Amino acid sequence: MLRKKLPFLHSLLSPVSRHVGNLTGHQYDVIVVGGGHAGTEAAAAAARVGAETLLITQKIHTIGALSCNPSLGGVGKGQLVKEVDALDGLCGRAGDWAGIHFSILNRRKGPAVWGPRAQLDRQRYRDFIQSELLSTPRLTVVEGSVEELLVTEPNPEEPGHHRVTGIRLANGSHAISARSVVLTTGTFLSGSLFMGQTTSPGGRIGDAPSSAGLSHTLRERLGLRTGRLRTGTPPRIVKDSVDLSLAKLHLPDSHPTPFSFLNTHTHCKPEEQLPCYLTFTTPGVERVVRESLQLNCHIQQDTKGPRYCPSIESRVLRFPGRSHQVWLEPEGVTSDLLYPQGLSMTMPPDIQLRLIREIPPMRRAEIHTPGYGVQYDFVCPTQLSPALQVKSTQGLFLAGQINGTTGYEEAAAQGLWAGANAARSALSMPTVTLSRTESYIGVLIDDLVSRGVTEPYRMFTSRAEFRTSLRPDNADLRLTPKGFEEVGCVSSVRYQESLRVRNSLQDALTALQALFLSTSRWKKKLPSVPISETKSTLLTGLDLLQYNDVTFEMLASAFPESLSSFMEFAQRLKIEAVYKPHCDLNKKEIERIQREENMSLPQDIDYFSLPVSLSDEVREILDRVRPSTLGAATRLEGITPAAVVNLLNYVRVTE
Ligand code: FAD
C-alpha cells in the first residue's frame, strides 16, 4: 500500500521550517548541510535514530530536485534503492509515488542482477520528499547557505585531530551548534557551470555554488585532500516539437513493480504509465560535435567526467563513426518537455539546436533549456571511516557527490548511512558499519573509503562479489532487522512486517523441503512439467522449484494443502530456490574465512606471482602490508572477501 496521500505542502511549510535567525545559539544533535538526495536521506535517518536534527539547504523548494535525469534505479542502482528502502529511507517510496514508467532492466539475466527502474514525474518526486521531510518528527528544515564549519583547535596530543562543533551561515552572523555535522553539498562545492565558452559560478542551473568558505575550511583548516570532477546534462526538448512517430516506441512493464517493500502497488496505475521512445544519432551529429570543439571549453578540460554516463561529445570522440542510442523520456505526467537521455552536451545553445536537429524525430525540435556542464570539488573519500566520518575530525560526516560519486541512488545510500551514524555519534552510541557481504551499500562505502575515486563513481552489480546473495528481492531480509536492532533507523511497523515476511518465507521453504517424492511421482503430480532425468531418484519441492519451467504456482496447485497459504511470496520463493545453492556456498565461504582467522600467511610469499585470481591493486596491498594472518588480511582496506577466499584456497593447497 502507499502509506498516505500527500498533504498540501504549503500548510506544512510554515509550522516546520523556521527562520534561521531563531536558531542562533540553539544546540542540535545533528546538522545536515544540503537538501539533495544524500542530505534528505541523512536528515530523515538521523531523526529516525532519535537525534534532534536540523537540515539547512539553500532553497526549500528544490529539496528532492532531480538535477539531471528524471529516473530512479537501474542495474546496480535499483539494488541501492531497495536497500535504502529496507533501512526505512525515502527514495523507494518516493519512486513508487512519482513513477510514471516502471520496468525491470536486465530481465534476460538472473533475478540477482535485475535492475528495478522507474521514469519519474519530477514534481511528484519533489512533493513526496518535501512532504515526508517536513512532517518528520525531530527534524527542522531551514533555508540558508552554510559558509563555514566550526571546529575545535587540534588536540595537542593528536595533532591534526579536530572536533566539529557546528556551522556558520553565509551572512556570517548566525552560528548554530551541533554534535555532528553531515555535509552533502553535491555538485555545489566550488561549482562552476559551463556552456560553450561561457563559465559562471553555480552548483546547478539557477543555483549558486557553495561559498568558497566551506572549501577553505575543508582544505586549509582541516587539511583534507580534495579533487575536481565534472558532469553534464542534456537540453530539455519541447515535446510538441518532436515527431515521435519516427522513434521506436518503448512500453513499460505491464505490471509495475514497486521499489518499496511496504508497497504492493505503485501510485500510477498500469494503464496510466507513459511510454519512452528510442532513436539514434546520425553522422550529422558527429559532424556538428567536431566542428564546434573549439567553442566547447568543458570538453577540452582534463577534469574527469562520468565514464558510464558520458556526454555526446565524449561518445562521438571515443567511438567515431558509430550511431549512438538516444532515449526520449517523459519528464512528468503534465510536463511539456522530453528528456533526451544520451545527449548530455555543453556546446553553445545555437549549436545544441543544430545538433539535435540532425536526429530524425527532432528535425524541427525546439530546446526549452540548453544542456550544460558542471565542475565541482570533491573530498578524497579515503579520508573517511566506514561510517563515512572524516577520520581526522570527530563528528564530521560526508555523503553523496561530495565523496566523488555520481547518481541519486549512490547519494541516497551514503546519506542514509552517514545520517544514521552522525545521530549515533551525537547520542554517544558507537557508529555502525555495513560489510561487502551483506549489502551493496557496504560495497559502495568500502570501495570509496578503501580505494578512493579517480572518476565519478557509480554502482554496478559487478562491483559486488557476493551479488547472488545481495539481490533486490531480499534487501529487506538482509537489512531491515539490522536497521531496527543495531542501527535504530527502522520503524517498528516496518520491522514487524519484515519479521512476518521472514517467518513466512522460512515456513514456505520448510514446507517445500518436506515435499519429498520420487521423480516418477513428481511426474505424475505435475505432468505438464518437463522434469529431465536427474541422478537423484528423490526430489523435494525445493529441488523441483530450481527447474526453469517450474513455478511456485504449479507446485501450490499440485499441493494446495501445504503450499497455497504462501502464494503471496510465489516470486520470492522461486528466486530463493534458484539461488539457494549459490547462497549456501557463499555462506560457507564466509564462515570458512571466519574459522580460519588465525591461519598464518607465509612471510616470504610473492604476491605478484601468486597463481590465483587477485587484482593488481590487491597484490600491491598484500605485498606492502604483508599481513601475518588471514584475519589481518581480511581487515585491510581494499581487500575484498573474494580475494581472501582465493588467498585462503591457495595457502591451504600449498600447506
Ligand atoms: P545534490 O543533489 O547536488 O544536492 C546538493 C544540495 O546541497 C542542494 O540542495 C544544494 O542547494 C545544497 N547545498 C550546497 N551547498 C550548500 C551550502 N553551503 N549550504 C546549504 N545548502 C547547500 N548523475 C548521474 O548519475 N548521471 C548524470 O549524468 C548526471 N548528470 C548531472 C548533471 C548536472 C548538471 C548535475 C548538477 C548533476 C548531475 N548528476 C548526474 C548528478 C546527480 O544530480 C547527483 O549525483 C546527485 O544529485 C547527488 O546528490 P547529492 O545529494 O550529493 O547532491
Helix (H, G, I), strand (E, B) or coil at 276: strand
Mutation probe of ligand 1 site: the residue of 183, 231, 344, 414 with most atoms within 8 A of C-beta: 231
* 95 closest CA partner among 154, 41, 172: 41
Q: What is the pLDDT of residue 296?
A: 85
Pairing label, strands 71-73, 115-120: antiparallel
Res. 599: pLDDT tops 90: no
Q: What is the pLDDT of residue 493?
A: 96
For 207-225, what is each residue's pLDDT tens digit?
Answer: 888 877 898 899 999 999 9
The pLDDT > 70 percentage for the chain reads 94
Cβ–ligand 1 contact at 57 (below 6 Å): yes
Res. 305: pLDDT tops 90: no
- Which residue's alpha carbon is nearest to atom 12 within ligand 1? 34
Q: How much distance in Å is there from the Cα of 185 to the middle of ligand 1? A: 7
Contact between residue 415 and residue 400 where contact means Cβ atoms under 8 Å apart: yes
Cβ–ligand 1 contact at 406 (below 6 Å): yes
Res. 418: pLDDT tops 60: yes
Task: Give the span between the Cα atoms of 467 and 124, in whole angstroms.
Answer: 32
Task: Give the span between the Cα atoms of 370 and 376, in whole angstroms.
Answer: 20
Residues 179-187 have a mean pLDDT of 97
Cβ–ligand 1 contact at 203 (below 6 Å): yes
Res. 78: pLDDT tops 60: yes
Cβ–ligand 1 contact at 383 (below 6 Å): no
Cβ–ligand 1 contact at 408 (below 6 Å): yes
Residues 615-633 have a mean pLDDT of 87
For 516-543, what is each residue's pLDDT tens digit?
Answer: 888 788 778 877 766 665 556 788 999 9
Q: How much distance in Å is there from the Cα of 187 to the middle of ligand 1? A: 5
Which segments of 273-311 does DSSP mark as H helices, in order? Answer: 283-291, 297-300
For 235-247, what is each residue's pLDDT tens digit?
Answer: 999 999 999 999 9
Residue 389 sits at the vertex; the CA angle it makes with 91 and 469, to the nearest 5 degrees, is: 50
Res. 402: pLDDT tops 90: yes
Band (pLDDT 50/70/90 cuts) for residue 188 is very high
Amino acid at 593: I
223: left (phi over 0), alpha (psi -120 to 50) or beta: left
Q: How much distance in Å is there from the Cα of 402 to the middle of ligand 1? A: 9
pTM of the model: 0.90
Q: In what order do the strands lie in the sheet with 115-120?
A: 71-73, 115-120, 99-105
Atom nearest to 344 CA in ligand 1: 28
For 583-597, what is each residue's pLDDT tens digit?
Answer: 888 888 888 887 887
Q: How much distance in Å is there from the Cα of 37 to the middle of ligand 1? A: 8
Cβ–ligand 1 contact at 92 (below 6 Å): no
Task: Give the span between the Cα atoms of 403 and 180, in whole angstroms.
Answer: 18
Beta bridge partners of 390: 384
Q: What is the pLDDT of residue 14?
A: 37
- Which residue's alpha carbon is nearest to atom 28 within ligand 1? 309
For 81-127, what is each residue's pLDDT tens digit?
Answer: 999 999 999 999 999 999 999 999 999 898 989 999 999 999 999 99
Q: How much distance in Å is there from the Cα of 380 to the middle of ligand 1? A: 17
Burial of 1 (0-12, 13-18, 19+ CB in 10 A): exposed
Pairing label, strands 115-120, 337-341: unpaired
Q: What is the pLDDT of residue 643?
A: 86
Q: What is the pLDDT of residue 2?
A: 43
Cβ–ligand 1 contact at 185 (below 6 Å): yes
Residue 349 sits at the vertex; the CA angle it makes with 250 and 186, to the nearest 5 degrees, is: 75
Find where cell 529516525 sits: 48
Res. 51: pLDDT tops 60: yes
- Please give the full DSSP string across 214-235, using - where no structure is assigned: HHHIIIIIS---EEEEEEEEPP
Residues 191-216 have a mean pLDDT of 88
Mutation probe of ligand 1 site: the residue of 185, 315, 341, 375 with most atoms within 8 A of C-beta: 185
CA dihedral for 63, 120, 478, 134, sign (positive or negative):
positive
Task: Give the span between the Cα atoms of 600 and 602, in whole angstroms.
Answer: 6
The pLDDT > 90 percentage for the chain reads 67
Q: How much distance in Å is there from the Cα of 410 to the middle of ligand 1? A: 11
Cβ–ligand 1 contact at 541 (below 6 Å): no
Q: What is the pLDDT of residue 232?
A: 93
For 4-45, what is each residue's pLDDT tens digit?
Answer: 444 444 334 433 455 666 677 789 999 999 999 999 999 999
Q: How much distance in Å is there from the Cα of 556 to the middle of ligand 1? A: 48
Residues 278-302 have a mean pLDDT of 89
Q: What is the pLDDT of residue 548?
A: 84
Q: Which three cell numbers stand for residue 524?
A: 505424475
Band (pLDDT 50/70/90 cuts) for residue 306 is confident
Please state the separation of Cα 238 from the chain's center in Å: 30
Band (pLDDT 50/70/90 cuts) for residue 318 is confident
Q: What is the pLDDT of residue 588?
A: 86
Cβ–ligand 1 contact at 575 (below 6 Å): no
Atom nearest to 372 CA in ligand 1: 34
Q: Round the average pLDDT of the chain to a whole number and report it.
A: 90
Q: How much distance in Å is there from the Cα of 496 to the middle of ligand 1? A: 35
Cβ–ligand 1 contact at 35 (below 6 Å): yes
- Which residue's alpha carbon is nearest to atom 10 within ligand 1? 34
Band (pLDDT 50/70/90 cuts) for residue 177 is very high
Cα dist from 328 to 323, 414, 593, whole Å: 16, 30, 48
Q: Which three cell numbers stand for residue 197?
A: 565558452
Contact between residue 502 and residue 477 where contact means Cβ atoms under 8 Å apart: yes
Burial letters 575-611, b for 16+ CB under 10 A, else e: bbbbbbeebeebeebbeebeebeebebeeebebeebe
Cβ–ligand 1 contact at 335 (below 6 Å): no
Q: What is the pLDDT of residue 4?
A: 44
Task: Give the span between the Cα atoms of 174 and 430, in whole angstroms.
Answer: 30
Q: What is the pLDDT of residue 150?
A: 94
Residue of higher predicted confidence among 561 and 520: 561
Residue of higher predicted confidence among 538 and 506: 506
Beta bridge partners of 142: 56
